[in-house]
Amino acid sequence: MRRGFLWDGFDAGIAAALAGDPDTARDHFERVLGEDPLAPGMVDAQEKTRELHALAADREAVAARVVHSCRSKPGLDPVRLAMS
């Protein structure tokens, strides 16, 4: 991961977890966690990254966490996910 491109690693970690590759997901998440939090938003992103790192082996939990996070920002109600 290029230094300063936290979101690249964050998104790549999510994609790997959703694809069923928790080891690669954790590698990406660890790179995000290794970044110096130079801006207030980075501290929050790293907190979310810690949660996702812990969930990396559970695709459904990662998907639920990401969807919940995205829906909560604009104040949307939670949804129940059905993954196969």
CA 2 from centre of chain: 17
pLDDT band for position 11 (50/70/90)?
very high
Find the mean pLDDT for residues 18-36: 95
Query: How would DSSP label each residue in 55-66?
Result: HTT-HHHHHHHH
Mean pLDDT of the chain: 86
pLDDT of residue 3: 57
| pLDDT per position as a tens digit, 56-76 | 999 999 998 988 887 777 776
Q: At what angle do helices 6-18 and 40-55 cross, to 10 degrees?
A: 20
Say how far apart CA 78 and CA 4 lie, in whole Å: 32
Find the mean pLDDT for residues 17-31: 97
Predicted confidence (pLDDT) at residue 1 exceeds the cutoff of 50: no
